[in-house]
Chain A
């Protein structure tokens, strides 16, 4: 061996690369550990690729956005397998007028973000520690499937709860869950705004009521042609707790509000504790006290009923052509029940219910303003009363407001009137069909309950419908912590008495830890252990493209293909049937997989394990990988039910086809009469819509708009009848809540009243108008009056749509201030960020030192009058504390744009402890997480977390004081070592 004193040249000269001579004499070879990644290709292929690069060929493709729930149609430019531009789809102008908003364009930052989950990961530390190792897909699928089958054997397949979060292309996961044997598949709607949708569901079997301001819309003309109808008809829109300009995602609503005002002189009133961006545009802002929307609606209704006079043009509030038995079921009973409150005295105010003075005392809006509102709403035709997600959707008693809101719109004749109100759920195109797999829930299954074998349908095992929430048709996720800790006991149905745990939780594109209720409760549940030291929740799988807080507690993290890498159908809120294709425009990066692939892989492995374990399997290969060879196969099946809406209304969408029949198929085939008509089922089937068809039509298609779709012409009787889009039991507007009857029967049969019903004094659900108070409101609910002095602020949250999880890591987007909730009041920090050079020619990466107050963070709005009392200025650090002792830090933004006595903050904008959220993570220690201040109180009936029902006290603090006051907030710090600045 050569000595160390040798020079390099001598070293090599002497061939002292010892032992190598032998090897060298053989071959240099390929000594690597694993297979190679780079491969050689023939020169002609190289030439072809280089030529393509030289030409800079761009492929133009079409897809649908996911940066918010508007899911607008996009045009995407792809160059060399990379997305280089995102534009709005000029051919499908429905939701964006062909433009792409800032969120859509920021999708590039998400697609190529360094924070993307790249590979399957397995937890190796404790839950919450953030320690993971990379594993292969084969290992991940194998272990997950094996565990699922093990748990199925132990507890039954119903122990699996699949939560598919907020993105709408979820059907594959539901299908797998149902086929596995669990009926427990839920989605974001369970925690979104169930009270808000309650009235529409009861009354029209719908969901979301929006003003009819989507323009232009394709409409059948008298000459038979279809033309764009571009005229605005709305004359009055009242937005109650609804903020299209910042918080909601229905872009056409923003555009339409402005256009209706400008082109048709439409008045816009905003009723909101905060002076939102929408309020800034409006003709008037009414700063209502939080949690009193129902009170306002009740007073408006009473006023309208008491003052309506069909003979007086200035008092003709009610449309008596609609308020008839032909269209409305249960009105006399509803009226009677509503009026039964009129003579009662409200203990909170000492005034008669639903009078104007009562409403002033409750809402804080002057009596004369309420009167004016009621009168204007009644007299203006058409008008739209729209209520929101944050309110009443997030209030314990939001159902009442929702029901009253529906009634107000219906009896004034505004429902389905041009310029009035549309229920977007019952007019939009259907999708999903058998692909979703709900048919598996009708399988007969057996369980031993109290020693007796019981056989019934699989869906009778549902954790809510037959558990503690029998009427929660949107499922309950807010109660998941308790369910994990205590398990499920079925109280209703054939399996009454059956118990099972929630032992497996698959969470996909959701973040329940932050968005479904008190954070500490979810952490407690996810980390709870059994006496043997294993986790109660035995399997937790997180599937997403981005890394969120919930993933910290998962056992496995699976990288899902981003929205630009997978195919599905977008879910949008139009006023007539429209459908967009979400197309895979580029291949998945790293090892991300599409939902169809994940579904098939898991299904196959579960099948194998079940055969081994049970000798049979609930998974049928013909229903998974043998049927769906590609995601296109899956989406084509989902499209078979499009549009699935009746040929109803005026103008009749397809005069050549039977009125009232449900339509399926492409608009062209329906138009041409290339259809099969089934007079028994009353359906018309044209050529099915397919992926290929949508691609040929720039990624989407639409069917004609119409109005009055609840009316169908009865040719036999030569008169109108109710029906069309109304798929309620009676095919009418149901003010007798028939929907509740089934639940009441279930509960009666069992003799077990759900705890949440008992909480509001019900043994059964009332079948007509009802009233109950919200919680944590010292102004309306006497139970909480004692807190009024010590906790003088009502705490509400508002949505800042460009500062939600999927957008936090898009630096430019996240830097738009909003409404005093998202304001540049940051502490100094460092961040590597992308910015353009002068002239915008290039994007450069720069590590920036941001000085104080240069970066948007979550803040809280406080009225100037209140701030002065506490000596608080903008930028001061304060601590908020609720009566339960929960605290959160925040920086104050002092303004006049929030009602005194209210603290308003963004939802999920602060206190975010996932390192995957860029700058927001860096500022977590002094920004508020609204969910930290929640009570574990869920609204009755639907189990909605009451995000808008809380009161707090505040005071100024220093950073050091804060660390003493909320030690757990800082200790847990959700430490991921080594991560600070990016």
Chain B
């Protein structure tokens, strides 16, 4: 079968849609872990087509409900004015940065239980760093470490974009490789700590914005694993497994 014929089986448009969808959500999650939300950013979120779509029409109830809750929290924050925005920024510092010990340090090193050092630049950090390196990424010095939640989601976002680029080239094996790597990273890293992190944020945060964000992130992660599995199956099987 010719390469073009192979790709026809994939239904390129559909695959592109899914990858785009995933990129958008990973991007949002990444942003919120790494930065305090500005007023402009919140407005973008409120008008975000993908978020809106999920909240209204996504078939899985959990994600539909949590995304709707998240959007409501975004609206509430926007309506709350500058005072509420400042409170949210101070909540971001309290949760993730300090100066007091952060309530939930958003670093994988601190959330893995067995045989892991609860210090910056521990074993897990090294694992993540090497993982990124294997895919050709290094972290430029921006004041965070590789195993920060935001950076791990940035990795997912960038590799999804990469998959999209490979899709244009029609290289099924290469796309599969990227997606398999994503699945492995999801299973061996993200799923090992992000759900727990999100639960902690939900329990300990005073902000409905961060509470709902945490719930949404946890639900999306769950859902994305399923999506990934289906994507991979369809790429492997073609035919009756195609999307």
Contact = CB atoms under 8 A, between A and B. Distances in A.
Contacts of A37: 34, 139-140, 142, 144, 150-151, 154
Contact of B99 (A2, A5, A31, A557): A557
A834 B59 contact: no
B174 interface: no
B236 interface: no
Interface stretch (B71-79, B112-120, B181-189): B112-120
A967 B18 CA distance: 60
Contact of A590 (B27, B64, B143): B143
- Among B121, B139, B230, max chain A CB count under 10 A is at B121
Contacts of B100: 130, 547, 914-916, 976, 979
Contacts of A34: 31, 34-35
Interface in B72-96: 86, 89-90, 92-94
Contacts of A2: 57, 59
B155 to A, nearest CB: 6
Given A8-B226, A50-B133, A133-B36, A15 B89 contact: no
Contacts of A16: 53, 57
Bin chain B's interface residue count. 35 or more
Interface stretch (A20-28, A232-240, A612-620, A876-884): A20-28
B154 A114 contact: no
A842 B112 CA distance: 14
Given A28-B164, A842-B115, A38 B155 contact: yes
B17 interface: yes
Contact of B154 (A21, A38, A914): A38
A118 B243 CA distance: 46
A32 B30 contact: yes
A459 to B, nearest CB: 35
Given A17-B18, A17-B20, A112-B120, A133 B114 contact: no
Interface stretch (B1-9, B102-110, B214-222): B102-110
A contact patch SS: loop
Interface in A37-72: 37-41, 43, 46, 49-50, 53
Contacts of B141: 587
A850 interface: no
Interface string B20-61: 110110010011001110000100000001100100111110
B59 A6 contact: yes
A21 B18 CA distance: 10
Interface string A945-982: 00000000000000000000000000000001111001
B176 interface: no
Given A53-B130, A121-B99, A28 B115 contact: no
B97 A834 contact: no
B84 to A, nearest CB: 12
Interface residues of A, number: 85
Contacts of A977: 94, 206
B173 to A, nearest CB: 18
A80 B60 CA distance: 44
A844 B122 CA distance: 10
Contacts of B24: 31
A32 B103 CA distance: 26
Contact of B102 (A18, A29, A114, A844): A114
Interface in A1-20: 1-13, 15-20
A655 interface: no
Interface in A847-891: none
A454 interface: no
A981 B227 CA distance: 38
A231 interface: no
A125 interface: yes
Contact of A843 (B110, B113, B117, B144): B117
A109 B120 CA distance: 9
A117 B165 CA distance: 40
A589 interface: yes
Contacts of B133: 46, 49-50, 53
Contacts of B103: 978-979
27 contacts: A8-B226, A13-B243, A16-B53, A17-B17, A20-B17, A20-B21, A24-B13, A29-B161, A38-B139, A39-B137, A40-B137, A53-B133, A80-B126, A109-B119, A119-B97, A125-B90, A130-B99, A131-B90, A133-B86, A133-B92, A547-B100, A590-B143, A834-B117, A834-B118, A842-B115, A844-B114, A978-B204
- Top-6 shortest CB links A-B: A845-B118, A28-B164, A112-B119, A915-B100, A33-B31, A591-B143
Given A19-B53, A30-B161, 19 more contacts: A13-B14, A17-B20, A17-B53, A24-B16, A28-B16, A28-B19, A34-B35, A37-B151, A38-B151, A38-B154, A112-B120, A112-B121, A121-B98, A124-B86, A131-B90, A133-B36, A134-B97, A587-B141, A982-B101
